[in-house]
Structure 1
């Protein structure tokens, strides 16, 4: 599952961390403002365009704004106010120039970028109003060389407006990046959860397959071994047949275990392919069941979905295994397979032999496993004693017949 690619400013860098485009230039902004204002003042003073001597207090005034920018993340309004006030005071001592507006513009940009839009608009309005009051309302009290023209006055207003506008864009950009990071994190968590769920389901499927294979064949081996031991001295030929059945069952068990484990290989590995398990092998299954089994098939036989075909085979296999375990020697079984229009019905019924009773066939992990297998395909399973025996009835949906 892959979502849309992140924009360049949100992609991971080589260290694995996301690039951060901050809302403000950080410490670099304060340093840049200090350099611009100090170098600008020195340059203007050399040209005779600063009307006072660059004494320590004038240098301190020039540095007040940049220093205030260092705390603008914590005190954004105060930082802008200090930078604007210091710049306005110095502007009365020199000819109009853009360099003294660097610190206030950076402070105003940050104020808007951190979400304080109202404060930014109010601060910009106050600063611009004070600027107009000083340089236009009090023109007669200032050195004429410090008075700005209409062009400079308009540019100051544009600079303040642009700072608010760009700060707002930076805020939106930051929120979009945060949302993208959140979506990416949620998507990665969902992918990890899906992978864990798929791995868990695969482990459960493999465990169920191994249980079916090993349980069925070991049960058969156990029965035949008991028969062989019982007949070894009296009827060696029948004992030989029992040993042959044990060999066949063990070989079949090994083959099916290899088939199950082969499913763990990647697709590009050259794993030997075993015949698919399904009802096409039902006769083989009942012949090796270790007890007499009658099979009856009704309805129109058709190709079933692979998962339904395999589940039907495994359910019949487990049911016959339970018969051998619980019904006692001499028991018989019947398997009914009914192809319905949109479903498959299985009925495995057995008789009890000797003094074996229904209590010996009480539902256990075998029936629970069969029921879970049926329910995973949207089917149902009912199991319980009937007259003289035990019945397992399963209904598996197959969709429209082919």
Structure 2
């Protein structure tokens, strides 16, 4: 019973594997033979020399093969050695050698094999008009020799050739060019598909590089900001309040340990691509940790939630966590406000995040890379969401993110 479900993945993989092997052979073959297609030229030479001898015995009235005929039969395959680099000169050269062989009155036979291979190579390389011209000139010369010039060409006493076999010869020419066009089309399609696969692989590599850069930025920017603030507190209170300085150092140690753990996880994923991470990706369930870290840096964070609670898709959960993390990091680094409000709202079809601080901006250089907002926009954009960030009329700053949710995710 015929399977109506279409081609199976195994069959599709088999075709791709066979195509990859063929492309690999096409790339390696010129290297193995110094850039020359020796094997095919040698086969054509052997067949032409052997089969032409048989044709000389079978065809009456043809001129016996002599040294000149043997040299002409060898010249065509020798020219074929350059068909990969110079397809147009080769197809014209082989056609001229073949025409000289026919003008000598030698027997018909596999001498046309070199012409077929030269024409096929020229067409496959995209020079179809040159191939048609060369074979057309050969055809015209053959007609002139067989029907008009035979009086002045060997062998002596030869008569005109019949017209009936010309139809078969014409069909042979059409068949050769049809095969050549088929090879050309398939090569172009495979080259285009290979280029598309390479472009897709390059895009995936670029996307992965950007993802890793965002992860490292978010982890390091947040942790180092906490460390920087606490280091300042510790230095300021080292002599006057040793206990408070000790608490600042404890916060620095915890933030550094967390940053090292997350960076190690990213680096392990780079060393073993495709392996499952040992620790789950952070999500909004770790929002209390962010609040505690912000509190250790001197920022009081209030969290409000609205809408139905429930699990989020891993990608959305990670993006939401990193957006809130980066927004709070920016408050710590760039705002004079010591309070922030985080509001999470589950609305139909989307998760909305809002982070507000009362400001004003400090205006000082916080030493950041300046890519925090860009990273947030990239995270939201990768999910089809949006980010709006800017100053509020009262001097504060607001970040609003909208991350879409599918119906099955709600």
In structure 1, the residue matched to 2:109 is: 102
Which blocks of at least 5 consecutive residues in structure 1 are unaligned? 88-98, 135-140
CA displacement 1:317-359 (0-9 Å, x = unmatched):
011111111223x61111011111111111111123xxx5464
Q: CA deviation at 1:65?
A: 7.1
Please state if 1:259 is matched with 2:258: no
CA displacement 1:284-319 (0-9 Å, x = unmatched):
211211211000011112222221111111111011
In structure 2, the residue matched to 1:91 is: none
Evaluate the alpha carbon distance shift between residue 196 and residue 28 of structure 1 in structure 2; reply closer, same or farther with a 3 A threshold. Answer: same
CA displacement 1:180-233 (0-9 Å, x = unmatched):
222222222222222222112111111111111111011111111222222222
CA displacement 1:15-58 (0-9 Å, x = unmatched):
82279797997555654476457x749xx9xxxx9999x9xxx9
Match of 1:275 among 264, 271, 280: 280
In structure 2, distance between residues paired with 1:357 and 1:9: 61
Q: CA deviation at 1:161?
A: 4.3
In structure 2, distance between residues paired with 1:227 and 1:251: 19
Match of 1:211 among 207, 217, 229: 217
Please state if 1:250 is matched with 2:251: no
Q: How many residues were matched structurally?
A: 360
In structure 2, distance between residues paired with 1:321 and 1:373: 16
In structure 1, distance between residues paired with 2:62 and 2:253: 111
Q: CA deviation at 1:254?
A: 1.5
**Does structure 2 retain, via aligned residues, the 8 Å contact 1:68–1:82?**
no
Evaluate the alpha carbon distance shift between residue 31 and residue 246 of structure 1 in structure 2; reply closer, same or farther with a 3 A threshold. Answer: same
In structure 1, distance between residues paired with 2:376 and 2:16: 42
Q: 1:263 aligns to what SS in structure 2?
A: helix
RMSD between superposed Cα atoms in Å: 4.5
Which blocks of at least 5 consecutive residues in structure 2 are unaligned? 1-11, 31-35, 80-89, 121-130
In structure 2, the residue matched to 1:17 is: 29
In structure 1, the residue matched to 2:92 is: 74
TM-score w.r.t. length of structure 1 = 0.71
In structure 2, the residue matched to 1:309 is: 317
**Does structure 2 retain, via aligned residues, the 8 Å contact 1:24–1:109?**
no
Match of 1:115 among 125, 128, 132: 132
Q: CA deviation at 1:168?
A: 2.7
In structure 1, the residue matched to 2:6 is: none
Q: Which has the larger radius of gyration?
A: 1
Evaluate the alpha carbon distance shift between residue 325 and residue 73 of structure 1 in structure 2; reply closer, same or farther with a 3 A threshold. Answer: closer
Q: CA deviation at 1:366?
A: 1.9
CA displacement 1:104-155 (0-9 Å, x = unmatched):
7668868987435655665665566569999xxxxxx97xxx999xxxx98x
Please state if 1:292 is matched with 2:297: no
In structure 1, distance between residues paired with 2:118 and 2:361: 85
In structure 2, the residue matched to 1:167 is: 173
